[in-house]
Amino acid sequence: MSALSGDYTSCSILIYDEAGNHLGNTKVMSYNMNTLRIEVEEPPRELSIGSVCRMLILSLPSPCEYEGRVTKEGARITIALFHGHEKENRTDKRYKINAPALIENLICDGRPYKLHTPLNITLLNISRSGMRFRAPYNSLSDGDRFQLRIKINDNEKLIIADVVNHLDNEHETSDYGCVFLIAATKGEGTGRG
């Protein structure tokens, strides 16, 4: 998928101001590939017509990062996309987020093994290529592969990721850095990321 040919309809979007502050989440109602404009369901109240925002569109095979200008077409609120990025690299912009998620399965030898009790985590930041989350102390180890279920608005994503590093905190928690391997929207097959 490229910025010019991808269809972002029904994808969830995390919206940030120019300074990187999380303003809210919404959903793409329609995407016009000719004008590179997306119509959004309910934009955050802090967005005003003409303002510039940053977005992380949760699309497959990997999330896409854009800057855009908020516009109005009749009664619809749209965002004109520019400066789109879909190429994975280590310098991906990280977006702060505070959202709950569940780790339901660990993966060993390519097979998922269901945890007796899902691991409740809190996402701290997310980029196109990975994320950082907080979990109970020593829940995972570097190199662990897992399936994560995250729900943003009405879209539910199943993500497979590897733990690449962790930092133990003083308050019986650990922060884990992970790289995405596969992501799928509920009801879709998986695609390599």
Sign of the alpha-carbon torsion through 186, 41, 181, 115: negative
* Of residues 173 and 152, more confidently modeled: 173
> Are the C-beta atoms of 139 and 163 separated by less than 8 Å?
no
Gap between the Cα atoms of 62 and 193, Å rounded: 5
In a domain, 5, yes or no: no
Number of Cβ within 10 Å of residue 179's Cβ equals: 16
In a domain, 7, yes or no: no
> Which one of 63, 85, 107 terminates a domain?
85
User: Do 59 and 124 sit in the same domain of this protein?
Assistant: no
Gap between the Cα atoms of 156 and 174, Å rounded: 25
Domain that holds residue 18: 12-85
- Closest to 27 measured CA to CA, from 193, 156, 180: 156
In a domain, 3, yes or no: no
pTM of the model: 0.56
Q: What is the rounded average pLDDT of the residues 71-86?
A: 73
User: Do 152 and 70 sit in the same domain of this protein?
Assistant: no
Q: What is the rounded average pLDDT of the residues 95-105?
A: 87
Q: What is the CA radius of gyration of the chain?
A: 17
Q: How high does pLDDT run on average in the chain?
A: 79
Instruction: Read off the amino acid at residue 173.
Output: T
Per-residue model confidence (pLDDT) at position 5: 47
- Closest to 9 measured CA to CA, from 74, 63, 57: 57
In a domain, 1, yes or no: no
**In angstroms, how far is CA 110 from the centroid of its own chain?**
24
139-163 pLDDT, tens per residue? 898 889 999 888 777 778 888 899 9
